[in-house]
């Protein structure tokens, strides 16, 4: 990577500052609104995880865990209800929570914190019998550190690396380390061991490969490993983030060390995190919301639409551009034409719509009717704001347009607790691994996590 002047200006204390913050964060330090929102994301995450039950890639992960892990333990694999070690519970739960593309995302870091933080934190909390309050504090620490690392690594990092796999490894280590009671130096060693394992590349999108689930699985499991090793005195690099041969030096051209400690302890990034409404890559959501607005405002039918131009940021082109003709359901979720085709035909892009996409000629008919266009206005606002803009060219010659500044699920247009509850229940039902009556009990345990003296089984 070319030398980055801002990285040269790092003080050398950034990693240590994050480690000290994470190791000392107490439940009492966390504002009430942050606690409540963390619980919201935990419920949302559990729904996403349960939706992964039975999906081919997750079944493969379960088989791997069964072959390699212990047959008993205190940590729970949600999709199978089996108990195992923290390592393999975190591995499978992290993969399962990311496959349906319904887990949360932080805009500024382009990072999915829930998919890596909660699997590691839940597995560890169940293993050691930690309280719900400690579980929440640890999860908040994971969010706050992971999001800042994602922001620090910058847009150049995301062009090649999947930030949830890279920053997520460190976030998982932080959450685990906080539960294990690591002191500041122990936490710093955990960061070092996590950062040296961080990985995740976007190339899988070209082949419809399953690597995205491996990214979250390994991030959660490797971060957990790093923290447990640090607990027993295993050392790691002390400047893994900002050092001359650290993560940013090898993975970024625009890393900004100031982002690592930005208002640490007063700016709570949990409150900046978004829920996902559509069952697709977040980069499709702004345009999907804008197209839905045009369709609903004018009561359009699919056959009336000749062409849709989605005005997007460069990150959307980098991630979605390689997917030309989706050959799997998961790959379709990374296709702008597939997502907008479903919106045009069904006015929804949910789990059922994507499941039927490959045999849906009307929706597939939009593969050559949707294009992405780089928009300087949209790109200039990204990643802090994800603006949706579309032009819809009609068969009668009209050109209709719409703009959405806050996609559904973003702060300012967020989901209510009733909507979160309904979404989680729908996702759990989709996975078919829990009955309706069991879902009621699970939801009660999820919403009341703060009150639990010891985090036990959820199902």
User: What string of pLDDT tens digits covers the 459 residues of the chain?
Assistant: 446 777 877 888 999 999 999 999 999 999 999 999 999 999 999 999 999 999 999 999 999 999 999 999 999 999 999 999 999 999 999 999 999 999 999 999 999 999 999 999 999 999 999 999 999 999 999 999 999 999 999 999 999 999 999 999 999 999 999 999 999 999 999 999 999 999 999 999 999 999 999 999 999 999 999 999 999 999 999 999 999 999 999 999 999 999 999 999 999 999 999 999 999 999 999 999 999 999 999 999 999 999 999 999 999 999 999 999 999 999 999 999 999 999 999 999 999 999 999 999 999 999 999 999 999 999 999 999 999 999 999 999 999 999 999 999 999 999 999 999 999 999 999 999 999 889 999 999 999 999 999 999 999
User: How far apart (Å, rounded) are the C-alpha atoms in residues 248 and 307?
Assistant: 41
pLDDT reported for residue 230 = 98
pLDDT reported for residue 373 = 98
Distances from the Cα of 447 to the Cα of 32, 103, 330, angstroms: 15, 17, 29
User: How far apart (Å, rounded) are the C-alpha atoms in residues 138 and 117?
Assistant: 9
User: Is beta strand 399-404 parallel, antiparallel or unpaired with respect to 388-394?
Assistant: antiparallel
Decide: 114 and 7 in contact? Cβ < 8 Å. Answer: no
pLDDT reported for residue 234 = 98
Q: What angle do CA 223, 123, 259 make, to 5 degrees?
A: 40
Nearest residue to 350 via CA among 332, 367, 326: 332
Decide: 92 and 115 in contact? Cβ < 8 Å. Answer: no
Using left for φ > 0, alpha for ψ between -120 and 50, and beta otherwise, residue 110 falls in left
pLDDT reported for residue 4 = 74
Task: List 389's β-bridge partners, or say none.
Answer: 311, 403
User: How far apart (Å, rounded) are the C-alpha atoms in residues 446 and 139?
Assistant: 14
Torsion angle, CA of 275/280/284/289, rounded to 10 degrees? Answer: -60
Could you count the other beta carbons within 10 Å of the beta carbon of residue 455? 27
* Segments in 52-131 forming alpha helices (H): 56-68, 86-98, 114-128
User: How far apart (Å, rounded) are the C-alpha atoms in residues 191 and 185?
Assistant: 10
Could you tell me the domains of the chain?
5-274 (1.10.4100.10), 282-404 (3.30.1330.120)
User: How far apart (Å, rounded) are the C-alpha atoms in residues 276 and 107?
Assistant: 11
Peptide bond into 59 cis (omega under 30): no
Name the phi and psi angles at 456, rounded to 5. -110, -160
pLDDT reported for residue 10 = 86
């Amino acid at each position: 990577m070319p030398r980055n002047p801002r990285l040269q200006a790092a003080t050398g204390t950034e990693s240590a500052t994050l480690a000290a913050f994470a190791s000392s964060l107490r439940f009492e330090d966390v504002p009430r609104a942050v606690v409540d929102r963390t619980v919201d994301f935990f419920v949302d995450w559990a729904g996403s995880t349960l939706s992964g039950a039975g999906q081919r890639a997750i079944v493969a992960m379960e088989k791997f865990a069964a072959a390699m892990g212990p047959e008993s333990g205190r940590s729970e694999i949600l999709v199978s209800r089996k108990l195992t070690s923290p390592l393999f519970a975190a591995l499978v739960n992290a993969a399962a929570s990311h496959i349906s593309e319904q887990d949360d995302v932080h805009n500024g870091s382009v990072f999915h914190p829930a998919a890596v933080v909660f699997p590691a934190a839940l597995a560890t909390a169940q293993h050691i019998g930690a309280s719900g309050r400690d579980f929440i504090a640890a999860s908040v620490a994971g969010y706050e550190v992971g999001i800042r690392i994602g922001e620090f690594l910058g847009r150049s990092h995301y062009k090649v690396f999947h930030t949830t796999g890279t920053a997520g490894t460190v976030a998982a280590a932080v959450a685990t380390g906080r539960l294990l009671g690591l002191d500041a130096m122990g936490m710093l060693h955990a960061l070092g061991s996590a950062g040296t394992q961080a990985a995740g590349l976007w190339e899988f999108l070209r082949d419809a490969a399953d690597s995205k689930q491996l990214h979250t699985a390994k991030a959660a499991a490797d971060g957990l490993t790093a923290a447990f090793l640090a607990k027993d005195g295993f050392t790691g690099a002390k400047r893994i983030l900002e050092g001359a041969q650290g993560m940013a030096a090898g993975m970024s051209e625009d890393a900004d060390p100031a982002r690592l400690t930005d208002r640490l302890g007063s700016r709570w990034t949990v409150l900046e995190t978004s829920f996902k409404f559509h069952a697709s890559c977040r980069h499709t959501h702004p345009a999907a919301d804008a197209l839905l607005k045009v369709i609903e405002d004018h009561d359009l039918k699919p056959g009336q639409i000749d062409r849709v131009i989605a005005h997007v940021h460069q990150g959307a082109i980098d991630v979605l551009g390689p997917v030309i003709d989706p050959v799997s359901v998961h790959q379709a979720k990374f296709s702008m034409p597939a997502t907008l085709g479903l919106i045009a035909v069904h006015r929804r892009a949910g789990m059922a719509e994507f499941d039927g996409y490959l045999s849906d000629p009307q929706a597939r008919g939009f593969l050559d009717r949707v294009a992405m266009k780089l928009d300087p206005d949209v790109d200039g606002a990204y990643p802090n704001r994800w603006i949706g803009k579309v032009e819809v060219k009609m068969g009668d010659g009209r050109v209709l347009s719409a703009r959405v500044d806050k996609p559904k699920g973003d702060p300012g247009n967020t989901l209510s607790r009733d909507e979160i509850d309904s979404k989680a229940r729908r996702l759990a039902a989709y996975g078919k691994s829990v009955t309706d009556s069991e879902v009621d009990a699970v939801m009660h345990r999820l919403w009341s996590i703060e009150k639990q003296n010891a985090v036990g089984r959820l199902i």
